Structure 1
Amino acid sequence: MIGLKKIPKRVVITPPKMFVLGFAIIILLGSFLLSLPIATQNGEGLNWLNALFTATSATCVTGLVVVDTETTFSLFGQIVILSLIQVGGLGFMTFATFLALLVRRKISFRQRLLLQESLNSSSTQGIVKLARTILFFTLVAEGIGSLLLAIRFSFDMPIKKAVYFGIFHAVSNFNNAGFDIMGNFKSFTGYVEDPAVTLVVCILIILGGIGFIVVSDVYENRSFNKLTLHTKVVLSTTAILLAAGTVLVFILEFNNPKTLQPLSIGGKILASFFQSVTPRTAGSNTLNIPDLTISTLFLTIILMFIGASPGSTGGGIKTTTFATLLGAAWAQITGKRDVEFFRFRIIPTMIYKSLTITLIAMLLVIVVTMFLSITEKTNNFLMIFFETVSAFGTVGLSMGLTPELTSFGKIIIALTMFIGRLGPLTVAIALAEQNEKENYRRPKGKFMIG
């Protein structure tokens, strides 16, 4: 009797796997370009690990750097970094869709699925139109931001340099990357009381961080009552976090002689607002981070962990996840059957997903912090914890540890940035074997909690 050959299981590349693979390829390409002699001012190129770290930080729109961007990279190297930021911020599938539309190619259903995963959209319906809207909005926001920053910088530097600085920092901050070319890791500390720079950068960060779906919804429905539930939750949560963060930073740093104390009252408010905005995954700063009080640093860690909103250029667990968890806790405390927002009942699946994302994120932060506490030379636990959350939230704020990382530490932080940008749940799904749905359910079980 002739035995039947076992048919090999077909390998299916799901949208999450393609999403992970696409970002990995972009990072490797960026690493190669940054390692070329033409990429650095000394003509030697970066070593492979520093090139990989920088490419990961740029593609994952984080902003953590092991070398100073302005003094290390040539114009070619800086343009490579800026290109990685733009592709990483928009998402490689959005960028690929833009190229396909330019050459009038039809977008296949599979490409629409990948685009849906990239934009964190709930449906493929109208996804190509959304991609067009995103590209248009990105060009307009970055264009206006570049112009305003260039005009302000033209008072401090030659016009050509001012234009380049305007473009670089507008693209970097709209995509919540936090890379800067001010030199010597100082970011915008020289403009701490300058409303032109501070407010333009803050607006760019907020617009990039609330999510493209929200921006599209606000543009089409200019009344709060007509907005979708998602948009209402994102805008209200963002507003509360920004207001609370500004007030707390103002209070906590008011008498700190290294930060707010020497500033005018207007400067104090501007600096407090900026320091509340930037932990929402941007990474630029007008106050020197190591000079902040311990309480402000801990507040910054909380804001970095929450991060931006779904479908945006930012990382973190996301504002909607945070809001859902608070809503679930409040419903449990008050004895309500359902979690409700704006007179809508939240389905249990969303609550489970929020819990899963937060738990995976917390475990990741704990494990990475533990590893870094072993491998790095510093005994400053807060510095290690701060850097880990900054990497996970793709923020880019640093207390100074990143440039001093060991080789193993750089690899760990690079992986953390990668997971933070793609989302811990997306990476987990991409790596895990998806089981077929079971046709039965186990009997109910019960045990004590709390």
Structure 2
Amino acid sequence: MLNRLSSFKIISLSFLLLIFLGTVLLMLPVATNDGRGAPLLTALFTTVSASCVTGLTVENTALYWSHWGQAVILVLIQIGGLGVVTMAVALTMASGRRIDLRQRSTIQEAWGCSQLGGIVRILRFVLRLTVGLELAGAAVLAPVFCRDYGLGEGLWMAFFHSISAFCNAGFDLMGERGGGSLMAYAGDPVVNLVIIGLIISGGLGFITWADLFDKGWRWKHYHVQTKIILCMTVLLILLPAALLFFRDLAAEPLSQRVLMALFQAVTPRTAGFNTMDIESLTEAGRIVLVGLMLTGGAPGSTAGGVKVTTAFVLMASAVASLRMKTDIACFKRRIAPQSLQQAVTIFLLYLGLFAGSTFLISEIDAIPVIDCMVETSSALGTVGLSIGLTEHLSVASQLILIGLMYFGRVGALTMIYTLNNQYRPNRGRLPEEKITVG
């Protein structure tokens, strides 16, 4: 049966299977603090949010779920962050069995690799990188959390938040302390810088990290995609941070203001933690937030969104058109026309889903459009930032968010190839005719 499925269908179905198993586990009585188990919609929403590394919740993670339930959520985050297929192949490798060509091909599609060669070597690197960074993050966070919560609970908090940050999930165990999420640590440089570092590390993408480790500090030897991802990452951190620093955080003390501006610039792509009250953002701040959430991180990473490479190709195409150039070029390389075609398709799909879902939720629950934009972009970009609407939405609106989270994690191209039964090559080309645009 599996031999007849394409790699894209395997990726899509693997997440559905993970969601089913997670929902069943969270409905067990042992998963909640009251011993009754979670209702179907609550378990389903939480499972989708965790496995799609989003972070939107309908119940407070620290107060509603037991330690067993929190452990299930953490496992879902880890599997969802690396990808179900990646984890399955990793278990195959651990058992000593050989990785066949089909498994290699599926990982290639899941990560967006340009070639099949070296997949197993990259997989080993990815697993070592993930474990290393998550353990390092937990080790640095542990003294802070152990000081505030005691040894046992502090270690669990450090471990949970390190994995949640690296996988760009945004789930936290703070309860209502300090206003929720990491707001109680808004001025703590250790917590802020560690979480920021983990979010960026997970959002850069595994192929990017492999290229960085292979080439070292030799910038000119990096792949063009790596250069694009690094440049876009820096740009999408510095510009929003400056805007927040001078506008929405102007009333905060200077030292805390810098940390808060930097943290809020990093987390919307697509981690979901926050150290300031998102509801206090101005409308301009919320629009910036929506734009960052829809953009997301790098291909083949733990982040969602349309991806920074998609945004770059669209901007580069616009620049080329303004300069009356027929080719899209960057870093002394020409970008393939197929990349532009895919970028336009992805952008329009995300834009259509974002606009349509925003309109539907606004009509169903009679909520202002600007507020709905934050929730829908957060779900579609697998971010998890919220202005407090998610838990108050109707069942229909929550189901819409569930669909958006799944689409955002699986990815637009994967969904397109999944829904198309087979590739149909062009057997001929029709006559060309120019259409006037603009």
TM bucket, shorter chain: over 0.9
Cα distance, 1:264 vs structure 2: 2.0
Q: Kindly state the Cα deviation for residue 432 of structure 1 after the two structures are TM-superposed.
A: 2.7
Q: How many pairs does the alignment contain?
A: 434
Contact 1:66 1:403 in 2 (8 A): yes
- Against the structure 1 CA distance between its residues 121 and 435, is the aligned structure 2 distance closer, same or farther, given a 3 Å change threshold? closer
Once residues 427 and 213 of structure 2 are traced to their aligned partners in structure 1, the CA distance between those partners, rounded to angstroms, is: 44
Task: Measure how far apart 1:435 and its partner are.
Answer: 4.7
Alignment of 1:31-430 (within 5 A): 31-184=23-176, 186-222=180-216, 223-255=218-250, 261=251, 263-378=252-367, 380-430=368-418
Question: Under a length normalisation based on structure 2, what TM-score does the superposition of the two structures give?
Answer: 0.97
2:236 counterpart letter in structure 1: L
Query: Match for 1:242: what amino acid?
Result: I
Q: In terms of mean alpha carbon deviation, does 314-323 or 212-221 score higher?
A: 212-221
**Secondary structure of the structure 1 residue equivalent to 2:275:** coil
1:250 and 1:267 map into 2 onto residues whose CA distance is: 10
Q: Does the CA-based 8 Å contact 1:316-1:420 persist in structure 2?
A: yes
Shift of 1:12: 3.6
Report the CA distance between 1:405 and its aligned residue.
1.4
1:388-446 Cα offsets, whole Å, 9 max, x none, are 00000000000111011111111110010000001122112211333521311111122
> Do the aligned partners of residues 435 and 214 (structure 1) sit closer, same or farther apart at CA in structure 2, a change above 3 Å counting?
closer
Q: Is the contact between residue 19 and residue 48 of structure 2 (CA under 8 Å) also seen in structure 1?
A: yes
Answer whether contact 1:360 1:425 (CA < 8 A) is retained: no
Cα deviation digits, residues 141-174 of structure 1 (max 9, x gap) = 0000001111121221201111110000000010
Deviations 1:163-191, CA, capped at 9 Å, x for gaps: 11000000001000000000037010011
Contact 2:359 2:369 in 1 (8 A): no
Corresponding letter in the other structure for 1:399: I
Given the alignment of the two structures, is residue 439 of structure 1 paired with residue 427 of structure 2, yes or no?
yes
Q: CA deviation at 1:335?
A: 1.1
Q: Which runs of 4+ in 1 moved over 3 A?
A: none
Would the alpha carbon gap of residues 432 and 370 (structure 1) be closer, same or farther in structure 2, given more than 3 Å must change?
Answer: farther
Aligned AA (2:276): L
* Paired residues of 1:368 and 1:388 also in contact (CA < 8 A): yes
CA distance in 2, matches of 1:67, 1:154: 25
Do the aligned residues in 2 keep the contact of 1:339 with 1:345 (CA within 8 Å)?
yes
Offset at 1:11? 9.4
Distance (whole Å) between structure 2 residues aligned to residue 228 and residue 435 of structure 1: 29
Give the number of the structure whose alpha-carbon radius of gyration is greater.
1
SS in 2 for 1:440: coil
Unaligned runs of 5+ in 2: none
Larger fraction in helix: 2
Equivalent position SS for 2:147: coil
Specify the code of the residue in structure 1 equivalent to 2:127: L
TM-score, normalised via structure 1 length: 0.95
Find the aligned partners of 2:412 and 2:227 in 1 and give their Cα distance: 24
1:91/1:119 contact within 8 Å kept: no
RMSD value over aligned CA atoms? 1.3
Distance 1:375 1:139, change over 3 A: same
- Contact 1:187/1:284 (<8 A) preserved: yes
